[in-house]
């Protein structure tokens, strides 16, 4: 594809060449020059009102600008022009999901899958909607299909592991978290969720390893500091627990959990004045 300067020259000599505006809009979008991209897509549609790609791309930009109704209008136009193209159904489904219009989102995902069963992203996103509706069985089916179509899709393993955890199918959940981590070693939520499950099952050392990995990947993850602090407290490694709670408080001074748990450990160490100070701070921060 030519660069923007080259496309400017083409447009200067051929101002009615729709493809040049389309290509420039794509480049503008890549450079986050979204207003200019919108203007170019509008020009494409003016010159070629049947260009479904322009409607789809402009609709996605409208989503970025929180102009939902205009986005829906563009996706509707793309569908009217080409009912067999799954992209507009997929894009509209994403928007409907963001708007909380889940039944409409599901209908569009169903159609997109009917048009193109081989797209793993559609199955995954439909699974996310089904999970929000509490339909775990069909969500699991979609996640299994996503994994079959794209075995390296780490998010699907984590999503399925979360469902397995809720269903108390703990070994299956651990297996899926581990697969996600194997695919994406720096996937901190997979480490964190596996740590929580291991902790709940009593595998404290293994959980500690995962919490430490989470904090290596994302040292600003407050929940991991608190959770590791809780685990260290259970292991009677009180000084380390205090250090973790203090780190969580430094990151989130108004976080009651870390301060409350630190007070409990301080009491165990008979550091009553410091514990009382933490309790008093909690009351001051949460007067109701």
pLDDT score of 48:
97
Whole-angstrom distance, CA of residue 21 vs CA of residue 31:
15
Q: Per-residue pLDDT tens for 35-61?
A: 999 999 999 999 999 999 999 999 999
Name the percent of the chain lying above pLDDT 90.
Answer: 94
Query: pTM to 2 decimals?
Result: 0.89
Angle at 195 between CA 192 and CA 201, to 5 degrees: 145
How distant, in Å, are the alpha carbons of 58, 249, 268, 269 from that of 283?
A: 51, 15, 21, 22
What is the rounded CA–CA span in Å between residue 185 and residue 179?
10
Q: Which CATH number fits domain 221-288: 1.25.40.10, 3.20.20.10, 3.40.50.300, 2.130.10.10?
A: 1.25.40.10
């Amino acid at each position: 594809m030519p660069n923007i300067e080259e496309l400017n020259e083409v447009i200067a000599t051929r101002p009615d060449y729709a493809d040049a505006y389309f290509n420039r809009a794509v480049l503008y979008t890549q450079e986050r020059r979204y207003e200019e991209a919108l203007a170019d897509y509008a020009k494409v549609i003016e010159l070629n009102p049947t260009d479904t790609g322009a409607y789809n791309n402009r609709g996605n930009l409208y989503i970025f600008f929180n102009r939902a109704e205009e986005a829906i209008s563009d996706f509707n136009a793309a569908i009217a022009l080409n009912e067999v193209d799954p992209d507009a159904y997929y894009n509209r489904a994403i928007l409907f999901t963001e708007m909380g219009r889940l039944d409409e989102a599901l209908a569009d995902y169903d159609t997109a899958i009917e048009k193109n069963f081989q797209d793993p992203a559609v199955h995954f996103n439909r699974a996310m909607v089904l999970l929000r509706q509490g339909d775990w069985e069909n969500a699991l089916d979609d996640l299994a299909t996503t994994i079959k179509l794209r075995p390296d899709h780490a998010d699907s393993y984590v999503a399925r592991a979360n469902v397995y955890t809720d269903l108390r199918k703990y070994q299956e959940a651990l297996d899926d978290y581990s697969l996600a981590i194997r695919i994406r070693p720096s996937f901190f939520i997979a480490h964190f969720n596996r740590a929580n499950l291991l902790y709940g099952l009593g595998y404290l050392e293994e959980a500690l390893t995962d919490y430490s990995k989470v904090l290596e990947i994302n040292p600003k993850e407050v929940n991991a500091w608190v959770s590791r602090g809780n685990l260290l407290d259970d292991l009677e490694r009180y000084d380390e627990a205090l250090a973790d709670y203090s780190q969580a408080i430094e990151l989130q001074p108004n976080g009651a959990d870390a301060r409350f748990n630190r007070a409990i450990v301080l009491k165990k160490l008979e550091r009553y004045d410091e514990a009382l100070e933490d309790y008093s701070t909690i009351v001051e921060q949460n007067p109701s």
